[in-house]
C-alpha cells in the first residue's frame, strides 16, 4: 500500500466508525457533520444518493478542514469518483467491486473501499487493491460471518455496512472488523429533518464508546 494511502486508511480505522450520511436533503448536512465531529466521529462518508452530494463534500472540506475526513460513498463509476475527488473527497467507497473506481482513488493517493458479500467477492476485492473491503449488506450476515471469513483469511481488512447499530457494533469489532460503516443508526433521518443535532452528537459518542470498549480501550 502507498504510504499516503496507508495513513488515510489508518485514520478510517482509528476510531472505528465511519458515518454513512444518506439524506433526502442536503440543507443541514454541514450541521450534521459538526455534530458527528463533536461526538467523536471524524470520518464522514457523504453518499452520492444525497442531493448535491458534491457540493456538500466541498463545503464540509472547506468548513471542517482537517478536523474531519470527508469521503464519498455509493460510487459506481470512475467518472463519479473523479468528480468527487475534485470536490475534495478524501476516500472513495463503492457498494460493489469496480476496478476503475479503485484505480481513480489510488491515482489521487486516496483509500478505496470496495463492496463485497461472499468470501470469493471479498477476496477478489482485496486482490483488486481495495484498501478496505466493505461487507455489504451486513444486515443479513452478522458478526459471526466476519469471524468465519477471517479464520482462513486473517489478512483481510473488513468493514460492515448495513444493519450496524449500538446492539451489535461491539460484536462486529470483536469479530474482527477494522472499522464500522454506520448509517441511520447514527444519523437518523428524523433527527436530520428535525434539526436534532444533539441526538446525533450523543449517538456518535455512544458508538465511539462502544468501539473503545470492544477493543479493550479506556472509555473515560
Residue 114: predicted pLDDT: 98
The share of the chain scoring above pLDDT 70, in percent, equals 97
CA distances from 61 to 37, 42, 55, 82 (A): 13, 12, 10, 16
Residue 2: predicted pLDDT: 66
220 band by pLDDT with thresholds 50, 70 and 90 = low
Q: What does the pLDDT average to over 33-55?
A: 96
DSSP E strand boundaries for 51-111:
69-73, 92-93
Residue 27: predicted pLDDT: 78
Q: What does the pLDDT average to over 81-104?
A: 98
Q: State yes or no: pLDDT of 91 exceeds 80.
A: yes
So which residues are the catalytic ones? 45, 134
Task: Tell whether domain 3-210 is in CATH 3.20.20.70.
Answer: yes
* 19 close to 46: Cβ distance less than 8 angstroms: no
Q: What does the pLDDT average to over 22-29?
A: 82
Q: How far, in Å, CA of 27 to CA of 138, rounded?
A: 29
- Say which residue the cell 458479500 belongs to: 117
The DSSP result for 109-150, as a single string, is T--EEEEE-SHHHHHHHHHTT-SEEEE--GGGT-HHHHHHHH
Amino acid at each position: 500500500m502507498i504510504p499516503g494511502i496507508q495513513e488515510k486508511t489508518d485514520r478510517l480505522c482509528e476510531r472505528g466508525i465511519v458515518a454513512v450520511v444518506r439524506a433526502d436533503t442536503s440543507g443541514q448536512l454541514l450541521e450534521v457533520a459538526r455534530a458527528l465531529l463533536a461526538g467523536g466521529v471524524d470520518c464522514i462518508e457523504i453518499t452520492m444518493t444525497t442531493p448535491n452530494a458534491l457540493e456538500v463534500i466541498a463545503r464540509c472540506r472547506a468548513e471542517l478542514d482537517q478536523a474531519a475526513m470527508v469521503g464519498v460513498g455509493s460510487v459506481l463509476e470512475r467518472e463519479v469518483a473523479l468528480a468527487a475527488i475534485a470536490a475534495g473527497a478524501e476516500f472513495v467507497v463503492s457498494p460493489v467491486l469496480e476496478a476503475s473506481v479503485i484505480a481513480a482513488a489510488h491515482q489521487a493517493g486516496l483509500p478505496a473501499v470496495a463492496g463485497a458479500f461472499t468470501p470469493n467477492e471479498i477476496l477478489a476485492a482485496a486482490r483488486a487493491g481495495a484498501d478496505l473491503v466493505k461487507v455489504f449488506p451486513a444486515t443479513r450476515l452478522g458478526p459471526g460471518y466476519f469471524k468465519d471469513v477471517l479464520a482462513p483469511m486473517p489478512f483481510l481488512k473488513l468493514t460492515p455496512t448495513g444493519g450496524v447499530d449500538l446492539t451489535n457494533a461491539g460484536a462486529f469489532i470483536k469479530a474482527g472488523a477494522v472499522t464500522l460503516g454506520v448509517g441511520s443508526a447514527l444519523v437518523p433521518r428524523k433527527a436530520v429533518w428535525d434539526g436534532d443535532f444533539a441526538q446525533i452528537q450523543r449517538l456518535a459518542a455512544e458508538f465511539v464508546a462502544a468501539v473503545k470498549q470492544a477493543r479493550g480501550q479506556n472509555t473515560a
